[in-house]
Structure 1
Amino acid sequence: MKKIMSIFFGLLIIFSFTTACGNSPEESNSEKGNTAVQEFDGNINGTLSAATSGGFMYSVGAVIGNVINKQDDSNLDVIEGGGIANLMGVNDQKFEYGLTFSQDIEDALQGRNDFDEPLEDFRVVAALYGGYLQFAVRSDSDIHSIDDLKGNSLSPGVKGYSAEALAELVLNEHGLDYEDLSKVEFTSTADATNLMQDRHIDAISAMFPIPFSAYQELDTTLGIRILPIESDKIKALQEVNAGYMEMTIPAGTYSGNDEDISVAGSITLIITHKDTPDDEVYFMLESLFDNLNDFKNLSVVFEDLDEDYAYENITGPIHPGAQKYFEDKGIAK
């Protein structure tokens, strides 16, 4: 009997010791926060968050959704969103994919501006196209530079949006702020173009691919001119945020510009969560580039889009599945 009791207490002590040390499989997994490893079943099923309905970025998201939905049993739903919200949502796995801007990626990595802390769980799949910050005035306006905006009225876009934030930074680099203007209208691009059409505002700014259709319509009725942003000002912007780019609007894009002009801008990219299976991301890129004409049919913006562009313009941490895809294409090292 004593021998049996000794064995019993010995086993009890061993069990208590292993439990206290966290070696119980169930407790160990719970403490480490382990989750089931995602696996790719050959189809993409999920959600892509794009932008507000009717905008260009939403149309791009719709093309991506249509391309993916052609593939067997894949189903990628496209919803309304915004660059900053998309980063947060993908990072927190509220949806599987999103579209965002290069400058927002830099802010997210640093945990600044709209991000209370650094985001660590999103990864970049590919770069798609560039957005050009276009300060537009009427062709007959006496405003020929950003400095000339002082004392005049401006619509920089909706307050808090990426384009408005960049417009304010450009003003700041020229020693101006909103208080130096006669009036500031924080409104949509559609409303802003109407205000200019009716001559109720002197200048508008928006960040879109070129040629921007709303500006083309204004150019037809009024004639517009885009204000240049000097290279040294753009370099100063890049010191604030490496996601800002120097871009060139070719001569003749709008009637008021007969020479190439330099402006600031950013790149629109596809992002996903770091735990998205590598094979799924690889499959997405294969599908997109096998159907590249779907993008080119949407807009001339995608004239330069190819696998080189998609890789070379990536900002932020690339997803391993994307890295493998671009390596297999001989683009990435």
Structure 2
Amino acid sequence: MKKKYTSMFALLLTGSLILAACGEGDDNGNDGNNAGGNNNAEENEANDNGGGDDNAAADTDVGNLQLGTGSTGGTYYPLGQEMATVINNNIEVDGFDLSAVSSGASVDNIISIFQGEMDLGMSVHLPALDSLTGDGDFEGVEVDNFGFMGHIYPEVMQIVTGADSGIESIGDLKDKSVAIGPPGSGTQAAAKLVLEAYGLEDGDYDAYEEGFGDAAGRIQDGNLDASFGLLGLPAGSIEELSISRDIRLLPISDEGLDYIEENSGYEALNIPADSYDFMDEDVQAITAYAILVGSTDTIDEELGYEITKALFEHSGDISHPQGDHLTKENALNGSNGLPIHPGAERYFEEEGITE
């Protein structure tokens, strides 16, 4: 059975409605730099010239598009910045301009697409699946206006604590200060699941709802006991933290894995001992897929095709280590059960990319 969590959808939706009532609807709660997403439909409508053309989004001057990433200290943000640059530099669409913006990550990005505030988003594939059926953080609300546009990289849950913290297992996090990721992020949903596998519920630990970038600074200063991060492997932010403080990764036990696999789609993964200099043995963890999704409201088939083509034909220009996973061979990883965006589907079929 798949375990349900308290819905973040209603919480984030209510927050956005309050902001809209105050005249700040374009902010989206993402560091104040996400203005403009709501203008996509208006700009594209203006480009229609009343013609009702199905490919209006791909006409000259398509307007500014938004790509939702994650917190600045995670993997999504820097990788998303490079993805946007690659697409902008190579897409064959006049007037196209894609901006990658920080956000609450997975759930936040899908909600923003649902509300017309973003056009593209990075997400763990499991929350994307939940959004289709109104499960998990989307409890009671089914999202139907996005499509899968490609696999980005495998995400790995990495639980970091100070080497001298005295914390030997996840069960030791009871009554400790723990960063569980921003509200609406895949990290937070996965962190709560892992903690529940050890019998730890909300209130059993002091939760900090922040991304790994902020959490790393607190761990470095000794003001936080542990942090969860659903990140690429290796994660540059973890490597940087290990330079200033001795740290270690907490493993997930076999019993914990049994609970997680029973209640979610996460799979077991061993983090190899050579992943980081501070490791001396493999660490058992869980993994899922980071994927790209696109709005089917603001991105039509033609524009979706051009975006997908520009990204996958030129992914070699991405310098971020996780960009190595953005290949045609991996393109459909994480797509099982998700609708494929018509434009991406056209590109995949053209390239002979099949499961």
With the shorter chain as reference, the TM-score category is 0.7 to 0.9
TM-score by length of 1: 0.77
CA contact (8 A) 2:71 2:213 kept: no
The question of whether the paired residues in 2 share the 8 Å contact of 1:68 and 1:75 is answered with: no
CA distance 1:247–1:44, shift in 2 (3 Å): farther
2:324 aligns with 303
Aligned to 1:208: 231
Aligned-partner Cα distance in 2 for 1:96–1:178: 33
Match of 2:98 in 1: 77
Residue in 1 aligned with 2:346?
324
1:84 to 1:157, Cα distance in 2 relative to 1, 3 A: closer
Residue matched to 1:47: 65
**220, 243, 251: which one aligns with 2:243:** 220
Name 2:82's counterpart in structure 1.
63
Q: Deviations over 1:98-133 (max 9, x none)?
A: 222212212211213432411122111111012222
CA-to-aligned-CA distance 1:122-151 (integer Å, 9 cap, x gap):
111111012222111222343232123334
How has the CA–CA distance of structure 1 residues 43 and 238 changed in structure 2, closer, same or farther, with 3 Å as cutoff? farther
Alignment partner of 1:114 is 2:157: no
CA distance in 2: counterparts of 1:50 and 1:207, whole angstroms: 16
Query: Match for 2:245: what amino acid?
Result: L
Name the residue aligned to 1:193.
216
Q: CA deviation digits over 1:219-258, x for unaligned, max 9?
A: 122221111224553453344333x343332212234422
* Letter in structure 2 aligned against 1:150: K
Letter in 2 for 1:310: A
Q: How many residues align?
A: 295
Cα pair 2:68 2:118 within 8 Å, conserved: no
Counting only pairs closer than 5 Å after superposition, residues 131-146 of structure 1 correspond to structure 2 as 131-146=155-170
Give the whole-Å Cα distance in 1 for the aligned partners of 2:350 and 2:197: 42
Match of 2:303 in 1: 280
2-structure distance, mates of 1:94, 1:304: 28
The residue type paired with residue 281 of structure 2 is E
5+ residue gaps, structure 1: 1-34
Find the structure with the greater CA-based Rg. Answer: 1
Q: RMSD across aligned C-alpha pairs, in angstroms? A: 2.8
Larger CA deviation: 204-213 vs 148-157: 148-157
CA distance in structure 2 between the partners assigned to 1:140 and 1:228 by the alignment: 16
Kept in 1, the 8 Å contact 2:147–2:296? The answer is yes
SS at match of 1:314: coil
Check the 8 A contact 1:46/1:95 in 2, yes or no.
Answer: no
Secondary structure of the residue aligned to 1:312 is: coil
Could you say if the C-alpha distance between residues 160 and 224 of structure 1 is closer, same or farther in structure 2, counting changes exceeding 3 Å? same
Match in the other structure for 2:38? none
Q: Distance in 2 between matches of 1:302 and 1:180?
A: 38
C-alpha distance in 2 between matches for 1:134 and 1:253: 12
Q: Which amino acid aligns with 2:273?
A: A
Equivalent residue, structure 1, for 2:199: 175
Q: Distance in 2 between matches of 1:96 and 1:185?
A: 29
Matching residue within 275, 293, 297 for 1:253: 275
The partner residue of 2:186 within 149, 162, 170 is 162
Q: What SS does the aligned partner of 1:331 have?
A: coil
Q: 1:42, 1:280 within 8 Å by CA — same for their partners in 2?
A: no
Alpha-carbon deviation of 1:178?
4.2
Write the deviation string for residues 148-206 of structure 1: whole angstroms up to 9, x where unpaired: 3334432223345331222111010111224434x443344333223222323322222
| Deviation of the 1:217 alpha carbon | 2.1
For the Cα contact (< 8 Å) 1:52–1:80, is it kept in 2? yes
Partner residue of 1:262 out of 273, 277, 284: 284
Q: Do the aligned residues in 2 keep the contact of 1:137 with 1:225 (CA within 8 Å)?
A: yes
Deviates more, 1:67-76 or 1:300-309: 67-76
